[in-house]
């Protein structure tokens, strides 16, 4: 079967600056598609449902780096704590605490990104910049030994308006850079999806989450 996954990947990768990590977003896509991307050299994959990611982890090669990019249900963190590499969508201190608790059971330190609310739409999850600063400065965070906040993640408004996207990406990049001076652990800025990743990179992203441009359109909206 010709799916073009390999070609899509090659095309995207050939245009990515070296410092930018590509997360191939495989949510809703079958194992065979992920295997095809893997065979083409891709090792970092993103899913937005914990159960689906666990199912895929179980059967796919173990050198895959799995990223959880979706909204987190705290009671399900335990199912991925033994293998998840990076959790992008952390939007509360409570969730960090739960990740810490589950990571501890496996003697791991789990890397996390705090999700910032940058979109004008009110449908997107995420923390305000003030909330993020509160978490980063809190005494309590330094007591969580099994989580490490390594950066920030943001989702821009679903729009073609380049000016608005630019403004949203730049606001997060500015905030990120400012905090990077105080918190050297912050190294990852995850922003940009199929429709807007080139602009996101131009505005300072170093991790892009790309699904449909690699695997084709999804059959249902998630």
Ligand X SMILES: *Cc1c(COP(=O)(O)O)cnc(C)c1O
* Footprint on this chain of ligand X (rule: CB under 6 A): 25, 27, 48, 69-70, 155, 193-195, 209-213
Tokens 């789990």 sit on residue: 110
Q: From CA 108, how far away is CA 219, in angstroms rounded? A: 36
Structure tokens at 174: 């500015």
Give the end-to-end CA distance of the chain in Å, rounded to a whole number: 26
- Smallest separation, CB 180 to ligand X (Å): 22
- Smallest separation, CB 35 to ligand X (Å): 19
Tell me the angle at which helices 50-59 and 31-39 cross, rounded to the nearest 10 degrees: 60
| Residue with smaller CB distance to ligand X, 69 or 149 | 69
- Smallest separation, CB 26 to ligand X (Å): 10
| Residue with smaller CB distance to ligand X, 5 or 144 | 5
Q: Which residue is nearest to ligand X (CB)?
A: 211
| Residue with smaller CB distance to ligand X, 154 or 175 | 154
- Smallest separation, CB 208 to ligand X (Å): 8
- Smallest separation, CB 196 to ligand X (Å): 8
| Residue with smaller CB distance to ligand X, 100 or 213 | 213
97: Cα separation from own chain's centroid: 19
Structure tokens at 44: 């970092």
Structure tokens at 118: 């940058």
CB 189 within 8 A of CB 195: no
| Residue with smaller CB distance to ligand X, 146 or 164 | 164
CB 181 within 8 A of CB 145: no
């Amino acid at each position: 079967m010709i799916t073009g996954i390999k070609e899509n990947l090659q095309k995207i990768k050939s245009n990515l600056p070296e410092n930018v990590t590509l997360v191939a977003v495989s949510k809703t896509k079958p194992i065979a598609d992920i295997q095809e991307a893997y065979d083409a050299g891709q090792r970092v994959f993103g899913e937005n449902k914990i159960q689906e990611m666990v199912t895929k982890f179980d059967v796919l090669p173990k050198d895959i780096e799995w990223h959880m990019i979706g909204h987190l249900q705290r009671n399900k963190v335990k199912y991925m704590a033994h293998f998840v590499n990076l959790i992008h969508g952390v939007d509360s201190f409570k969730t960090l605490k739960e990740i810490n608790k589950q990571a501890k059971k496996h003697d791991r330190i789990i890397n996390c990104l705090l999700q910032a609310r940058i979109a004008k739409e009110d449908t997107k999850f995420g923390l305000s910049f003030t909330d993020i600063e509160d978490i980063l400065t809190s005494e309590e965070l330094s007591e969580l030994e099994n989580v490490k906040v390594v950066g920030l993640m943001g989702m821009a408004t679903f729009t073609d308006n380049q000016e608005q996207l630019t403004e949203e990406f730049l606001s997060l990049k500015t905030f990120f850079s400012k905090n990077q001076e105080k918190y050297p652990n912050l190294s990852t800025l995850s922003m940009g999806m199929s429709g807007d990743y080139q602009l996101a990179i131009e505005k300072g992203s170093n991790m892009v989450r790309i699904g449909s441009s690699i695997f084709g359109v999804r059959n249902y909206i998630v």
